[in-house]
Amino acid sequence: MSYRELLAFAEARGRELAAAGLARGERALLVADASPEWGVAYFAIMSQGATAVPLDPQLNPPDIAAIAARTRARVWLVSKAVRERLGDAVGEARLFVVDQSSSAPAETAGETGRGEVSGNDLASIPFTSGTTLAPKGVPLTHGNFLADLRALLAVVKVRREDEFLSVLPLYHVLGFTGGFLAPLSVGATVTFVERLTPKALLEAMQATRTTVIISVPRLMILLVRAIQARAAGSPRSAQLVFAVLLALARVCRRLGARGLRAALFRGVHTRFGGRLRMLVSGGAALPSEVYDLLDLMGFTVCEGYGLTETSPVLTLNPPHAPRRGTVGLPLPGVEVRIGDPDAEGLGEVLVRGACVFAGYLEDPAATARAFHDGWFRTGDLGRLERDGHLVLAGRADDVIVTGGGKNVYPVEVEYLYRDLPHVKELCIVGVPDPASGGDAVHAVITLDDSDESPETRKREIGAAVSEISKRIPPHQRVRGVHFWEGELPRTSTLKVKRKQVRERIGNR
């Protein structure tokens, strides 16, 4: 679909929505599957000066209906699959089915006009994914989105010839701002992927010769596992060559020769389409081993940080000088400071800027808690390095306080135990310790898919935990290990729900 076709489609859908009674200032629910039609629907709603309420299609029908009632959205745009699941939850709402295979909507008689829009008008009301059963509505204005988009483009030079691969749904604010608005603003191309599997991703990258991916860590992990699986399945001689190339790449990295590293792994770059110049990761911490492997192979990996409430990007590693272990520098126009830092400079991350929202939807109490003297309290712990790079240490409400009064940050402990064998996922949580009166550090682990028996893998993990514990401070040592069946519970932005994990292992 060309940009001309996309805009024509959006304008036709906008006239259809206007004829159905959607007017300036009103809200429309957007519950469709990931596809270009999401963008069409977004623009159609905004063309009338109305506000989009984007929701995850996987939400239960009662939750969709509850959010529609809360936002007073009388018009719903849904996919065929969602329409079939909604049943009676639709009530008296006016439905429009967003179908990827449909042609443009029919012309609607009558002059509806285009809604006037200003920077202060609401563009969208996404809902926080959170880890609770009560997500909060986050009203974002056109001004919020434009401020973040302009700041992002000042750091990341997007080109008209770029080929973006969209792996984030547009109800995810990073997917909308970074993966849709950014390329759209310069006329670059966006390709949507329906199935997020290594095979589907690699096929799309080769077909489009992808240049930029804006993603979350889970997708980066899929790509790295695809590389590792291919190497592990190769003949012994090829595995040896791969190991030698990695050793040479480490030498090249010390010399700062990224181009030479890319040349060493030309075959991997070719499998990724041959033109991939940047991988941007946000939404959660990127495992260090994933960053390391991609970086060794000459890929530019830029971690960033932001929240739904900030439209969303706040900080980003500049592509010309990415740094592992940090989420980068504040974008232009974004101010970051650390509230009540401890002796090591660690405290709550506070931010302000034009991309920051004004307050939660009809929730003055939550809004009052979220701001302090005009600064938005992110709820994340971090510290600023001397050159301004931000380093995160996890959520403030995830801090483990030991019986001795020591603060333990789960993200830091996960890093210390990052080299455990046979581990697919690792989550550190605090468990009440009656003996000390505080919390003890516990590890929750999902096993990998190796051929060794579960008993053998668990035994080797236990031995490795004991060995690592000898080398780290006592308050950070893992005191208990729990093995989790299946995948750890995560939010829609793929952050582990530590509270849910903690509650479940505490009930065993």
What's the confidence (pLDDT) of residue 110?
A: 42
pLDDT single digits (tens) 387-396:
999 999 888 8
| pLDDT above 70: residue 221 | yes
Question: Domain spanning 1-117 has what CATH number?
Answer: 3.40.50.980
Q: What residue spans in the chain does CATH classification 3.40.50.980 cover? A: 1-117
Q: Token pair 């110049």 is at which residue?
A: 277
Q: How far apart are CA 295 and CA 272, in angstroms?
A: 14
Q: What residue spans in the chain does CATH classification 3.30.300.30 cover? A: 399-506
For the chain, percent of residues with pLDDT exceeding 70 = 94
pLDDT single digits (tens) 371-380:
999 999 999 9
Q: What is the pTM of this model?
A: 0.82
- The model's confidence at residue 131, banded by pLDDT at 50, 70 and 90, is very low
Q: How far apart are CA 403 and CA 436, in angstroms?
A: 5
For the chain, percent of residues with pLDDT exceeding 90 = 58
* DSSP tag of 446: E
Q: What residue spans in the chain does CATH classification 2.30.38.10 cover? A: 323-395
What's the confidence (pLDDT) of residue 111?
A: 45
Can you identify the CATH homologous superfamily of domain 323-395? Luciferase; Domain 3 (2.30.38.10)
The tokens describing 327, both together, are: 């989420």
What's the confidence (pLDDT) of residue 284?
A: 76
- Torsions phi, psi for 161 (to 5 deg): -85, 0
- The model's confidence at residue 114, banded by pLDDT at 50, 70 and 90, is low
- The model's confidence at residue 108, banded by pLDDT at 50, 70 and 90, is very low
Q: Which CATH number fits domain 399-506: 3.30.300.30, 3.40.50.2300, 3.10.620.30, 1.10.600.10?
A: 3.30.300.30
List residues bridging with 190 in a β-sheet.
Answer: 164
DSSP alpha helix (H) spans, 177-235: 182-186, 198-208, 217-232
The CB-side HSE value for 119 (13 A sphere, CA atoms) comes to 9
pLDDT single digits (tens) 303-357:
999 999 999 999 999 999 999 989 999 999 999 999 999 888 999 999 999 999 9
What's the confidence (pLDDT) of residue 493?
A: 64
pLDDT single digits (tens) 69-93:
999 998 999 988 888 889 888 888 8
